Structure 1
Amino acid sequence: MTTQFHDHVLPDAALAQLFNEARSYNGWLDKPVSDEQLHAIWDLLKMAPTSANMQPVRIVWVKSDEAKARLVECAADGNKDKLAAAPVTAIIGYDIDFHEELPWLFPHTDAKSWFDGDEEGRKEGAFRNSSLQGAYLMLAARALGLDCGPMSGFDADKVNKAFFADEPRHRVNFICSVGYGDPASIFDRSPRPDFGKFNRIA
């Protein structure tokens, strides 16, 4: 039983929804995702930790037919139909100059000065922490009853030009469709390793 660890462990049904029974979907039911649901996803994911509360993620929620068509043109052939059918796809990007926001995001100290003049360090921190935030997005969506279809099969330069041209310091990390997954679109679950395969306790 999960309760052997702590009184506040989530029930098995919640763990199943977030992890054990959650899948990456390749097809979608014809059910819309509202703007209110996207706001709710954001309101959850923004609460999860990033280094110095840097919040480098910059998300474009692709919903309109016009935006979908632009995104499809950036995708690998095997992903085009998936993106066209998804009710919404999040382009999870990051801001190389995230440090400009640190004076209000992390007011406890002069954190902006940590990153001034170190663009390579900012790129590394922005990529790492936006990856975290993309994972938080997926967990938030699942917690709210939605399904996810993350993917990296796209031309990053094309995505940057198509969606971040007005923000040249923003870069795409990965993309993730969000909606109500079609159970017929998933494969049998791939193997997952036991603890001893890739872990050690030092």
Structure 2
Amino acid sequence: MSLVLDPAAQDLLFREARTANTFSDEPVTEEQVQAIYDLVKYGPTAFNSTPLRITLVRSAEARERLVNLMAEGNQAKTAAAPLVAILSADNEFHEELPTLLPHFPQAKDIFFSERPAREQSAVMNAAMQAAYFIVGVRAAGLAAGPMGGLDYAGVQKEFLDDDHTPLMVVNIGKPGPDAWHPRGPRLDIDEVITTV
């Protein structure tokens, strides 16, 4: 193979990694969350915009509010996961650009002065960061259960604000019994890649 990453790491991050549907009761610590973030913050985004925001749902009261906003098939696993994260895009990310791009402070006004363009960029770049986050969770030896089956408007109202667009909810923890559904098929290279 032409990959530099050793096969064990390839398995951990991709080939053997799965979306968990059940979790053990082993807690996810703040130290683990810090280690995950310290790794994935280096993933590239346009203009180093880093619009992903992560809301950790730890309290029982907040968990109950979130579970009520999840699709029926996602409620039990969200209630039982050791940690749940709401991933959202900060539509006002451009306010941080002068700090993040000290060599190009005018980027804030040149590229992101209009809200529709800013929202589009925020969602696209935060979605990339969400993928890094999932890989980071796997790198920590944990399983991630990303889900889109939720009441997006309800999650925004209960946990965010009008300046944040919810992207997904991710259950995080050590896999529990019967955690995996059968792995679904993947497309072959010739079904995905076109050379022009």
Question: How does the TM-score come out when normalised to structure 2?
Answer: 0.95
Identity within the alignment, %:
42
Which of 177-186 and 44-53 deviates more? 177-186
Aligned positions of 1:3-82 closer than 5 A: 5=2, 9-82=4-77
Aligned positions of 1:1-202 closer than 5 A: 2=1, 5=2, 9-109=4-104, 110-164=106-160, 167-202=161-196
State the 1:183 CA deviation.
Answer: 4.9
Q: CA RMSD in A?
A: 1.2
Paired residue type of 2:179: S
Paired residue type of 1:45: V
Name the CA distance, whole Å, in 2 between partners of 1:168 and 1:193: 37
User: Segments of 4+ in structure 1 off by > 2 A?
Assistant: 114-117
Give ranges in structure 1 of 5+ residues lacking alignment.
none
Secondary structure, in 3 states, of the residue corresponding to 2:54? strand
* 1:24-71 Cα deviation digits (max 9, x unpaired): 011101111001111111111111111000011111011221111111
State the 1:182 CA deviation.
Answer: 2.2
Give ranges in structure 2 of 5+ residues lacking alignment.
none
Q: How many residues were matched structurally?
A: 195
Name the CA distance, whole Å, in 1 between partners of 2:59 and 2:175: 19
State the 1:170 CA deviation.
Answer: 1.2
* 1:111-147 Cα deviation digits (max 9, x unpaired): 1012343111111000000001110001111111111
Name the CA distance, whole Å, in 2 between partners of 1:94 and 1:102: 15
Name the CA distance, whole Å, in 2 between partners of 1:114 and 1:177: 38
CA contact (8 A) 1:99 1:115 kept: no
